[in-house]
Amino acid sequence: MLKIYTIKGYTCKEVSPGRGAIQYHLVDDLGQERTVTAIAKLGLIKKIKSVQPIHFRETPLVEALSKAKISDEISVDFSDFNKHNPRINSDRHKASEKRVLDQISNAKAITTLDSFSWDPFRILVLFVWAFIGLAAMLLLKSLF
């Protein structure tokens, strides 16, 4: 099954330290709008390292979205994925998805995928480590 989507935009929220949620806003080839949510691993300065789907069945779509930009048109073929991963209806699986979605709705916003929040504490920690590294290099240089 081949699906074609256009990316209208996305929002990213921090769920917990080191984890975020991305909501991709899409329009399919029939003009219907859709939102796809995924979990992101964030780096030290809140830049996205990797993205995983919340709903397993959206794996091919999320993989394609993570490589695309706003206004890009993407084609996703679900045929092979559906052949190797038949549908499973599980109440436990639905409950875990609901818990993750509840966490996302209560999270604070990050502006874009490529930006990071100017958290003064994180920046201070980066500068302290940079200073310690520079001091260590100068000390080693003076010893040798």
> Does the residue 44 lie in any domain?
yes
pTM of the model: 0.58
Q: 16-25, 67-76, 108-117: which range is least confident on average? A: 108-117
Is residue 100 scored above 50 in pLDDT? yes
Distances (CA, A) of 54 to 21, 92, 135: 9, 14, 44
DSSP type of residue 31: S
- Predicted confidence at residue 27, as pLDDT, reads 93
Question: How much is the mean pLDDT over the chain?
Answer: 80
Q: From the centroid of its chain, how far is CA 125?
A: 24
Q: Could you tell me whether strands 33-42 and 19-28 are parallel, antiparallel, or unpaired per DSSP bridges? A: antiparallel
What are the tokens at 77? 């073929």
Closest-CA residue to 39 (of 59, 69, 67): 59
> Does the residue 128 lie in any domain?
no
Per-residue pLDDT tens digits for 61-99: 898 888 888 888 988 888 888 787 777 666 666 666 777
> Does the residue 141 lie in any domain?
no
User: Which region, left, alpha or beta, applies to residue 46 given φ > 0 means left and ψ of -120 to 50 means alpha?
Assistant: left
- Predicted confidence at residue 7, as pLDDT, reads 92
Please state the domain count of the chain.
1
> Does the residue 144 lie in any domain?
no
Higher pLDDT, 34 or 47: 34
The amino acid that residue 6 corresponds to is T
What are the tokens at 91? 């109440």
> Does the residue 132 lie in any domain?
no
Percent of the chain at pLDDT exceeding 90: 15
> Residue 50 sits in which domain range?
2-116
- Predicted confidence at residue 115, as pLDDT, reads 43
> Does the residue 38 lie in any domain?
yes
> Does the residue 140 lie in any domain?
no
Reported as a pLDDT band with limits 50, 70 and 90, residue 32 is very high
* 3-state SS class at 44: coil
> Does the residue 59 lie in any domain?
yes
